[in-house]
Amino acid sequence: MRRLVLAALLAAMVPTAPARAEAAPSAEVATPRSEIFALSSTQTGLRYRIFVARPALPPPEGGYPVLYYLDGNATFRTAAEAVRLQTRPPKGFGPAVVVGVGYETDEPFETTLRYFDYTTPVDPARLRPRGNGEPYPALGGADAFITFLEDDLFPAVAARLPVDPERRALVGHSLGGYFTLHAFLERPDLFETWVAGSPSIWWDEGSILGRAAAFAAEPPDLAGRRLFIGVGAEELDHMVAEAGQMAGALAPAQEAGLALGHQEFAGEEHITVLPALISRSVRLALEAPGVR
């Protein structure tokens, strides 16, 4: 008995070695049900990295809605998770495909090619100096990029998944937001839902505001079209003001059926507003028609 008691005392006095966690194998975190493929523009020859997230649920009648996000290297993963969370049954929206339109880089932004794809032609002398002090790269490829979306990317996505060509959304931020507005003015039929985040309306001395006013004065039939303009309330004063001016310029187009929204996101600046815009874009694109 004494030996048993002594053994118990000795055991209590010996410090217990802490549990050792086994090291997990090193691996990158993958986005569920996703793939990446390269696609070249048949018009310009430029190559793009295309990110696609597939829904877990079967497609609705007519095919999946598709949400297209510009600057896909920076936006795709956040967008894919936002859609995955907001489409969970039983209370979520219906399933949707997420497509990120990116470039062949591992950086969040490709700061040369996006200047070409997302801008309209302009004399660089009419632009404010770049923040890094460097000259502007090639500019003015926005119309060619619209053609790439329609002629190359839409068919490539449709070849992989059953999609609804009437339920497309385009989401762009900064220069991508400017492109979104430009494409809307040129081809409002191309997408059902348009989300222009922190749009660079200053481009070409703000000439897009005049274009928007002319468009809204004699708009086409915009029934079923949705346009949302969002900006961080803490962004540069001119960015905040110009987003409001764009919403005002397009307001008359509501008479032609356009569902127009505008919001300044409190406490957010140019980059921090991006996740909020992505989250909002899911609801805008997937909620029932007429709900706002």
Instruction: Kindly name the residue from 41, 174, 200, 281 that is annotated as catalytic.
Output: 174
Question: What does residue 99 show for φ and ψ, rounded to 5 degrees?
Answer: -125, 125
Side by side, the strands of the sheet bearing 97-102 are 34-40, 47-53, 97-102, 64-70, 163-173, 193-197, 226-232, 259-265
Reported as type and span, the H/E element at residue 50 is strand 47-53
Q: What count of other Cβ atoms lies within 10 Å of the Cβ of residue 30?
A: 8
CA distances from 22 to 19, 25, 279 (A): 9, 9, 36
Q: Which residues pair with 171 in a beta bridge?
A: 69, 195
Helix axes 203-217, 175-186, angle to 10 degrees: 30
235 is known as an active-site residue: yes
Q: How far apart are CA 218 and CA 152, in angstroms?
A: 31
CB 257 within 8 A of CB 221: yes
Instruction: Kindly name the residue from 262, 270, 279, 287 that is annotated as catalytic.
Output: 270
Instruction: Kindly name the residue from 110, 173, 200, 235 that is annotated as catalytic.
Output: 235
Quote the distance between the C-alpha of residue 284 and its chain's center. 12
Q: How far apart are CA 242 and CA 9, in angstroms?
A: 77
182 is known as an active-site residue: no
| Residues in Cβ contact with 124 at an 8 Å cutoff, skipping those fewer than 6 apart | 135, 136, 139
Cis peptide before 90, with omega less than 30 degrees from 0? Answer: yes
262 is known as an active-site residue: no
Structure tokens, 113 = 């090619």
Which residues form the catalytic set? Answer: 174, 235, 270
